[in-house]
Amino acid sequence: MEVTVLVLSFIILIALRVPVAWSIGISALLTILLSMQTLPALTTISQRVVTGLDSFSLLAIPFFILAGHIMNSGGIAKRLIEFAKALVGSLPGGLAHVNIVSAMLFGAIAGSAGAAAAAIGSFMSDQMEKEGYSKEFGVAVNVTSATTGLVIPPSNIFIVYSLASGGVSIGALFLAGYIPGILTGLLLMIVAYIWAKKKGYPTGNKTSFKILVKTCLSALPSLFLLIVVIGGIVAGIFTATEASSVAVLYCLVLAFIYKEISIYNLKSIFVAASETIAIVMMLIAMSIAMSWVMSYENIPQDVTNALLSISDNKVLVLIIINLTLLFVGIFMDMTPAVLIFTPIFLPVTTALGIDPVHFGIIMVLNLCIGLCTPPVGAVLFIGVGVAKTSIQKVIKPLLPLFIAMLVALMLVSLFPQLSLWLPRFFGF
């Protein structure tokens, strides 16, 4: 009965276009009302919403979001695009590869797929169209490649997963994301190469070594942020939360050095960042409350028993979980999905001997695909909006890129070494 009320109420509320955060909170309240009287239920949900945000680790998310907004306004995207163009612009379908590599670099630094899609898309959309690429293909490349920044660290979603999983090392998750994220980017580049050959898209001019060095030096201060943040966490110099505040200071200094923003721009940047932070933290608070309700009603244990009763074959259970998460990603934003479904599926995967770090990468890769699919694909809507086209026109060129992302997911699911090699190498 509890599961039925939880699922049906959530689906109905979403169908009625109630905001996702409120849908989650109301569904949690309706479910707990089956076990408690009204006043204790209201009090309990309210307490869980407030205390759920009382976490030192969660402080990293507002700081990383602010750092991303500063980067978006600070000329960093432009320099990363020029560097990517020098690296891969001479390949067949050169600008598509530039888009993918730029998104990987910018998304990794900003930790936001939406920021990457907006920043890179605003620069690349017109350029690709002028050189003969179809607008829809450019959007498809931009949208799918933007999600790689959620897997390549630093990434806010890994911090959320760490919280939902009960304390999996953020440093280990950051390191685990490198190979799967780069693998996904390379597979997208292979598809872009084949598509460009098939459609006869132009090949860029070969870049001289002098220009390559010049663009590399221009982008180096931005890329150095990765070394500061990840290196500091891995070396134990600071925590992920402290690293996020260092990232903000570093981005501010860099933006002023680049002379892309002034003191007068800071107000609008802080306001925009605050709006994003408010939305994200509201989603987190409500999702934490729902996770507590599910735990109170023993829903994770029931799901674990149900799945293990089907089979104790690790591959089969992973396929079931992957298919479930792919379906969930179509209808739910990534942050609440991680907070709600981690407590449900993590006990199952742990019982089968799957490393929690490995499962975190699988979950994030799954939900990245959902960001590119309607009706809730936030990154898809950003990419389409920036390019001023429609979702219907983008679907066809998106399909082969979806397949590349699914292949990456399959490889990471079947070969845990892809996720675990780096964390184990550094002693996590």
Encode pLDDT of 250-260 as tens digits: 888 888 887 77
- pLDDT score for 36: 84
If one counts every other C-beta atom within 10 angstroms of the C-beta of residue 246, the result is 18
User: Structure pTM?
Assistant: 0.83
At 372, the amino acid letter reads C
- The answer to whether residue 334 sits within a structural domain is yes
**How many domains does the chain divide into?**
1
The C-alpha atoms of residue 370 and residue 376 are separated, in whole angstroms, by 8
Whether residue 15 is predicted with pLDDT greater than 90 in this model: the reply is no
Residue 190 has pLDDT above 90, yes or no: yes
Q: Is the confidence at residue 292, as pLDDT, over 70?
A: yes
d(C-alpha 409, C-alpha 95), whole Å: 25
3-state secondary structure of 92: strand
The DSSP result for 295-361, as a single string, is: HHTTHHHHHHHHHHHH---HHHHHHHHHHHHHHHHHHS-HHHHHHHHHHHHHHHHHHTT--HHHHHH
Q: Worst-scoring range by mean pLDDT, 89-93, 249-253, 382-386?
A: 89-93
Residue 1, amino acid: M
Mean of the pLDDT values across residues 278-290? 85
Contact 178, 395 (CB under 8 A): no
Q: Residue 74: pLDDT above 80? A: no
What the block records as the tokens of 378 is 């936030």
* Mean residue pLDDT across the chain: 85
Percent of the chain at pLDDT > 70 equals 98
In a domain, 79, yes or no: yes
At residue 365, the pLDDT reads 93
Take residue 365 and report the two structure tokens written for it. Answer: 């890769």
pLDDT for residue 223: 81
Give the lowest-confidence range in 42-51, 128-137, 268-277, 312-321. Answer: 128-137
User: Residue 292's domain spans which residues?
Assistant: 53-425
419 pLDDT above the threshold of 70: yes
Q: Is residue 24 part of a domain?
A: no
Burial of 54 (0-12, 13-18, 19+ CB in 10 A): exposed
Q: Is the peptide bond before 347 cis (omega within 30 degrees of 0)?
A: no
Residue 273 has pLDDT above 80, yes or no: yes
Quote the CA–CA distance of 246 and 425 in Å, as a whole number: 25
- Determine the pLDDT at residue 240: 80
C-alpha to C-alpha distance for 281 and 285, rounded to whole angstroms: 6
How confident is the model at residue 380, as a pLDDT? 84
- CA pair distance 234, 196, nearest whole angstrom: 39
Taking the C-alpha atoms of residue 254 and residue 109, their distance in angstroms, rounded to an integer, is 13
pLDDT value at position 130? 80
In a domain, 10, yes or no: no
pLDDT band at 376 (very low <50, low <70, confident <90, very high): low
Helix (H, G, I), strand (E, B) or coil at 118: helix
pLDDT of 406 reads 94
Residue 113 has pLDDT above 70, yes or no: yes
Q: What is the pLDDT of residues 193-216, one digit of tens each?
A: 898 888 787 776 677 788 888 888
Distance CA 311, CA 306 (A): 9
Residue 109 has pLDDT above 80, yes or no: no
Angle, helices 94-110/135-146, rounded to nearest 10 degrees: 30
- Other Cβ atoms within 10 Å of 414 Cβ, number: 11
- With a cut of 70, say whether residue 322 has pLDDT above it: yes
Give the three-class secondary structure for 203. strand
Instruction: Compute the distance between CA of residue 394 and CA of residue 141 in angstroms, rounded to an integer.
Output: 10
- Rg value, the chain, Cα: 21
Q: Is residue 412 part of a domain?
A: yes
Predicted confidence (pLDDT) at residue 375 exceeds the cutoff of 70: no
Which residue(s) pair with 92 in the sheet?
A: 203
User: Which SS3 state, helix, strand or coil, does residue 377 take?
Assistant: coil
Nearest to 128 by CA among 101, 93, 104, 102: 93
Average pLDDT over residues 220-225: 83
- Best-predicted range by mean pLDDT among 132-141, 152-161, 181-190? 181-190
Asked if the model's pLDDT at residue 35 lies above 90, the reply is no
273 in a structural domain: yes
**Percentage of residues of the chain with pLDDT beyond 90:** 14
Would 19 be classed as within a structural domain? no
Sign for the pseudo-dihedral over CA of 235, 174, 95, 221:
negative
Mean pLDDT of 272-301: 83
Residue 5 domain-assigned? no
pLDDT at 341: 87
